[in-house]
Amino acid sequence: MHNNWIAGEWIGASNSQNNLNPSDLDDVVGQYVRASEADVQDAIAAAHAAWPSWSLGTPQQRFDALDRIGAEILARKDELGELLAREEGKTLPEAIGEAARAGQIFKFFAGEALRIVGDIQASVRPGVQVEVTREPIGVVGIITPWNFPIAIPAWKIAPALAYGNCVVFKPADLVPGSAWALADIISRSGLPAGVFNLVMGRGSVVGAALIADPRVDAITFTGSVETGRQILQQTAALQKKAQLELGGKNPLIVLDDADLETALNCAIQGAFYSTGQRCTASSRIIVERGIYDQFTQTLAERTKALRVGHALAPETQIGPVSDESQLQQNLEYVAIGKAEGARLLCGGERLQAAGNGYYFSPAVFADATNDMRISREEIFGPVASVIPADDYEHAVALANDTEFGLSSGICTQSLKHATHFKRASQAGMVMVNVATAGVDYHVPFGGRKGSSHGPREQGRYAQEFFTVVKTAYTLA
């Protein structure tokens, strides 16, 4: 039994769940407790009690703890990657890469703990000194999704601790294993009791309690648009700081002058790797008419050749879908796309031969339009819509015609168009001849419009959410 970590102790619960491997439903990854509302209250109380001392601790204390965490993650990245692949379904190389990224994030924010700076400014009044400093918020509730079960927790937990906050962490109920392994590493890092707490369980119980409790000063959430909007309404009523990373319907523009091989690699990696279960996935591929037929035909051929299989198998390129509900959603959207008149070139079926798991063949729709549901709604699976564009200006208009604005990309050899698109794209992250999915850990992450709310995540910009600014005046 894997228990919650509350106030420096492993705490059991009366309720638990089996964590199943989506590659093989007969494989039970482990048994994990589900917290009650009382458990959440205990975790919040522990964080609230620990914060006054921790917030005034030295940067060296924070550096040491975060550096130890990062070092152990990196030393165990293969082991953690295998666990991640078993419980979430990423291929083993992707999973090991995600584990390594989590370690790098903790190492980065260990350094940031030593680089919290302020300003000393001259006052407009004689004899008065002005200091502008950053201080921790307090207790931060962290709610993370299932698709990146160790990297996303890392890029929220690490800055929260680096800037002197205390944490109550609720991972996705579908993938508690990676979160528990991370908490186990954190438990040995030297953090005082109560500074970090893990409460696994349902969002309706754990998440709701975190959001409603006045002792929690801020909520950072990554997940669905619907849930995020509900959280925003609740936190606004409580005047609680909120950071939301939600959905995406990301465009990849392919112009007539693009290097075809580069464009195909960007499309396939962006749309289908990680089984398309990324908010940055390029699910709308907008192609100029001059190369439209050649590109779509070759894309379909390359997609059909992708090897779908067990996440741990060395030959696998695309792992299983996360669970039954996501598989059914993928199938429903394939039916919707056909009914809307898009032309299914390949895939879109459940694969039975691959094993006892949630296997789905990556799908490519051609002749889609930007007003189709498959082009407007986030499917969160390996389903790509290819949309024709008359010219560059038309392609940009199509790319921006969405309620989302997380990531966008363009494949072109034109410096003029690349430069213009970086400015004209209504997205928080823009890629030129690079897949829309896949970002660095030391620079800002986040979007615009319906994709994000609040300050950016990752890199030095994380301080905007995890700290508050104080201005102090002193009569000299």
Give the H or E element holding residue 185: helix 176-187
Cα separation values, 422 from 185, 356, 407, Å: 40, 44, 11
pLDDT in tens, 168-194: 999 999 999 999 999 999 999 999 999
Residue 43: name the closest of 220, 201, 185, 189 by CA.
Answer: 201
For strands 363-366 and 196-198, give the pairing: unpaired
To the nearest whole number, what is the mean pLDDT of the chain?
Answer: 97
Grade residue 352 by pLDDT with cuts at 50, 70 and 90: confident
Beta-carbon contacts of residue 437 (< 8 Å; ≥ 6 apart): 250, 269, 270, 273, 274, 278, 280, 281, 282, 407
Q: Kindly give, in sequence order, each residue whose CB lies less than 8 Å from that of residue 238, ignoring residues fewer than 6 positions away.
A: 211, 212, 214
Res 21: pLDDT: 97
Distance, CA of 418 to CA of 410 (rounded, Å): 7
**How far apart are the C-alpha atoms of 215 and 433, rounded to whole Å?**
46
Where b means 16+ CB within 10 Å and e means fewer, 69-82 reads bbbbbbeebeebbb
**Per-residue pLDDT, 438:** 87
As a whole-number percent, the residues of the chain with pLDDT over 70 amount to: 100
pLDDT for the residue 15 = 92
Angle, helices 415-424 vs 392-400, to 10°: value is: 20
- Which residues on neighbouring strands pair with residue 15, listed in sequence order? 34
User: Cα 472 to chain center, whole Å?
Assistant: 36
How many Cβ atoms are within 10 Å of 191's Cβ, its own excluded? Answer: 24
Catalytic residue of the set 88, 245, 288, 378? 245
Structure tokens at 361: 């063949």
CA distance 216 to 206: 13
Average pLDDT over residues 266-273: 98
Specify the pLDDT at position 354.
66
Residues 6+ apart with CB under 8 A from 372: 337, 340, 341, 342, 385
d(CA 355, CA 321): 13
Residues 6+ apart with CB under 8 A from 196: 5, 157, 161, 166, 167, 169, 183, 186, 187
How far apart (Å, rounded) are the C-alpha atoms in residues 81 and 78?
Answer: 5
User: In degrees, to the nearest 5, what angle opens at C-alpha 144 toward C-alphas 142 and 148?
Assistant: 140
Phi, psi angles (nearest 5°) of residue 397: -60, -40
From the list 266, 279, 346, 411, the catalytic residue is 279
Task: Count H helices and E strands in the chain, helices first.
Answer: 15, 22
Whether 279 is catalytic = yes
**Which pLDDT belongs to residue 476?**
83
Measured CA distances, 39 to 9, 202, 285 (Å): 12, 12, 46
In this structure, the strands spanning 452-453 and 241-245 are antiparallel
Rg (CA), the chain: 23
Task: Report pLDDT digits (tens) over 414-431.
Answer: 999 999 999 999 999 999
For the residues 139-150, what does the mean pLDDT come to? 98
For residues 305 and 317, the answer to whether their CB atoms sit within 8 Å is no
* pLDDT surpasses 90 at 13: no
Q: What is the mean pLDDT of residues 382-403?
A: 98
CA distance readout (Å), 105 to 23, 96, 101, 242, 267: 28, 14, 6, 21, 27
CA gap 198, 39 in Å, rounded: 10
Residue 82 annotated in active site: no
Backbone phi and psi for residue 340, each to the nearest 5 degrees, phi listed first: -75, -10
Residue-wise pLDDT tens digits, 298-313 = 999 999 999 999 999 9
Q: Is the dihedral of CA 102, 105, 109, 110 positive or negative?
A: positive
Within 305-344, residue ranges assigned H as helices are 324-340
